[in-house]
Amino acid sequence: MKKILLTATRYTLITAILLGIGYPLLITGLAHVLFPKQAAGELITRNGKVIGSQLIGQAFTRGNYFHSRPSAAGTGYDAGASSSSNLGPTSKDLISRTEASITAEQHGSTVPVPIDLVTASGSGLDPDISPAAAYYQIPSIARQRHLSEATLTQLVDQHTTQRQFGLLGEPRVNVLDLNLALDALTTR
């Protein structure tokens, strides 16, 4: 028994160093050489300041931006505390929260809102909306920004990511990218 205990302890410590220190350090080293941008979180910098990550959504709620999805991460898009709502389909809270979002997105119209625009994502940090959700917002943003709907449609199309290899996943629009392009369009 003493021998097993000794073996188990030694085995634990040696493999802990191999698997818990050596392996992650090896991957970190290789990742920094091979994929430095990805390994650091694909941060976006403007004028020397980090303004976000390509992969992490931000809250856009004002009328002159394309809105992102509702978020249950912290106070909304808190990338230090990812979370979903975890509300089930028969939850009163879910129904009332979604109805409030629907009213806000409709701006008085009666056109049905694309479902992803009024539901919270799994991470609370979803960087994307569906192309349907982007197109849906064009008329109101065109009014706010004094731009033509055709210009905005073109902008959305330019920023739509298609399925990977034409097969995997769903088409999507990165909201941060789209809004940065929108700002660039109006300041020019």
Partner 1 sequence: MSLNGWLQIALFIALILMLAKPMGSYMTRVFDLRDTGHRHTWLDPLLRPCERLLYRLTGVDPDEEMRWTQYVIAMLVFTAATLVLTYIIQRVQQWLPLNPQHLAAVAPDLAFNTAVSFSTNTNWQSYTPETTMSYLTQMLGLATHNFWSAAVGLAFAIAFIRGIARREMKTLGNFWVDLTRGTLWILLPISIVFALALTSQGVIQNFHPYTTATLVQPQTVTTTGADGKTTTSTVTTQTIAQGPVASQEAIKMLGTNGGGFFNANSAHPFENPTPLSNFLQMLSIFLIPAGLTVTLGQMVGSPRHGWAVLAAMTILWFVGVFTCYWAEAQPNPLLHNVDQHNSYSLQSGGNMEGKEVRFGIADSALFATVTTDASCGAVNAMHDSFTPLGGLVPLINIMLGEVIFGGVGAGLYGMLIFVILAVFIAGLMVGRTPEYLGKKIEAYDVQMAMLYLLIFPLIILGFAAVAVLMPHLGLGSLANHGPHGLSEILYAYASATGNNGSAFAGLNANTHWYNYSLGVAMFIGRFMMMIPMLAIAGNLAGKKIVPDTAGTFPVTTPLFAALLTSVIVIVGALTFFPALALGPILEHLLLHVGHTF
Question: Could you say which residues in the range 50-89 bind partner 1, by CB under 8 A?
Answer: 50-62, 65, 69, 73, 75-89
- The number of beta carbons lying within 10 Å of the beta carbon of residue 109 is 11
The yes or no reply on residue 104 touching partner 1 (CB under 8 A) is no
Window 107 to 136, contacts with partner 1 (CB under 8 A): 110, 112-116, 118-133, 135
* Whole-number Cα distances in Å, 135 to 49, 88, 117, 188: 30, 28, 11, 23
Instruction: Select the span of 137-145, 146-154, 163-171 touching partner 1 (CB under 8 A).
Output: 163-171
The yes or no reply on residue 177 touching partner 1 (CB under 8 A) is no
Rounded CA separation 24/44 (Å): 25
Who's near 8: CB < 8 A, 6+ residues apart?
none
Binding partner 1 by CB under 8 A: which of 104, 146, 150, 163?
163
| Least spacing, CB of residue 70 vs partner 1, in Å | 9
* Whole-number Cα distances in Å, 87 to 45, 55, 80, 96, 168: 35, 25, 21, 11, 28
CB nearer to partner 1: give 83 or 151. 83
| Least spacing, CB of residue 54 vs partner 1, in Å | 8
